[in-house]
Amino acid sequence: MSKPNFSGYSIEELLDCKRNVDKERWPERYQEILDELALRLEDPSRKAVHDELVFTAFCEELRDDLTIAIDDNLWPIITFFSKRLRRSVPSTFLDEVCPICAGELNITQRFSSWNIACETCDMSYSLRERRSYF
Ligand SMILES: [Zn+2]
């Protein structure tokens, strides 16, 4: 496998590599990706793009977990019958922190959407549950 030249990669491509590279097997390559990302993040407008991508990817991953958790727990049916439970948060969201600042996330539910927000980073993302039970 020839060594990729990360300097020509976009932030999106670098993030993709970072997610997919085998850290154990290619520690130098992983470090190169981190270094290359760090270089780009010195530019505030690029950092904003990066943060947005990271936050979005993080939320989309949560969506997959959430779909499974909801299937397992029959969450919408339970919440439909319980006002108290309706205000609580599925286990998917417990212990999750902001992927950018590692701060606490503010998670709220409105109808069948979940809003995931970090006040520190001024980010928010709305997830719709994939399935509709009603
Ligand atoms: Zn944050």
3: CA distance to ligand 1 center in Å? 33
- 118 CA to centre of own chain: 12
% of residues, the chain, pLDDT over 90: 49
Distance 34 CA to ligand 1 centre (A): 19
Domain boundaries, the chain: 7-41, 44-128
Ligand 1 centroid from CA 103, angstroms: 5
Residue 62: helix, strand or coil by DSSP?
A: helix
Q: How confident is the model at residue 13 (pLDDT cuts 50, 70, 90)?
A: very high
What's the sign of the alpha-carbon dihedral 3, 41, 11, 62?
positive
Rg (CA), the chain: 18
Tens-place pLDDT, residues 93-120? 777 899 999 999 998 877 778 889 999 9
- 76 or 44: which carries more pLDDT confidence? 44
- Please state the pTM of the whole predicted model: 0.70
Share of the chain above pLDDT 70, in %: 75
The encoded tokens of residue 117 equal 């927000």
Read off the pLDDT of each residue in 11-33 and give the average, rounded to a whole number. Answer: 93
